[in-house]
Amino acid sequence: MNLEQTFKGIKDKMLIDFNDISSQVTHRGSKGRIREREVIKEYLEKYLPGNIGIANGECISTDGTVSPECDIILYEKNTTPYLIHTDGYQVFPIECVYGVIEIKSKLDKAQLKDSINKITKIKSMPKTAYEAQKGDVVHSTSIYGKKWDYFPTIGMIFSFDSIEMETLKKHFLSMQANISLEKQVDSLWVLKKGMIIHSDVDNNIEMTPNQETSPKIIKSENPLLILTIHLQALMSSGWLPRFKIIKYLEDANYGVLES
């Protein structure tokens, strides 16, 4: 089996189906849903690890922050409690979310800014509702040049098409110049053109930014190949401390205890 050709075939089919359906739909919201369904149906559900759930909806945190609506939420399917689950729309505690993906039809400067703002807000949401790790084995994550006692939220942008990649990179750099590494968009993928991902001075590709990397353009007719490697590596590395839902219910009225 030629995996390179397999992923190129998936890309080609996604573009054909998307163009065919989008040409028949004029409502902006409907096009958004189509984009999400196509990515989920043709790609994510097939190539992500089995413990990763895929949904759209919102994230909340213990400080009361509510995220913007997320096109795609990647969450821990086996242990995540649904805080709200109705008509295909879910609300997730941020502690159980591994990452989010913003999806666009054709990415331009305005849509890039909107996506960066959304992802930065989501990645800024605190993850605090965990049981303290105890015992001889204590997990941690080394990413963004830091060590974390949980898995930080990953954020990506996926688009079917875009303005010129060089212009996109210029905006990508300027819009994130004053954003800390762990709150930046980790990578940007354009199905028709290629990707903007981080690499070091020796051109070694990194999945997330750190102090030794900078964003680079890779023009490619087959970006799904590298995206699959990225997602598999990142999501296979994902882990959660034991989630502590009571942190979301500390102000709840449980009733009156009678003797």
* CA 77 to chain CA centroid, nearest Å: 15
Q: For each of the chain's 259 residues, which pLDDT tens digit applies? A: 666 777 777 777 777 776 766 666 656 666 666 767 777 777 888 889 989 999 889 999 999 999 999 999 999 998 888 777 776 678 999 999 999 999 998 999 999 999 999 999 999 999 999 999 988 888 999 999 999 999 999 999 999 999 999 999 999 999 999 999 999 999 999 999 999 999 999 989 999 999 999 999 999 988 988 899 889 999 998 899 999 988 988 777 777 778 7
**Listed residue (161, 221, 195, 168) closest to 19, CA to CA:** 161
* Domain ranges within the chain, ordered by starting residue: 3-124+143-241
pTM (two decimals): 0.89
Within 10 Å of residue 214's Cβ, how many Cβ atoms? 11
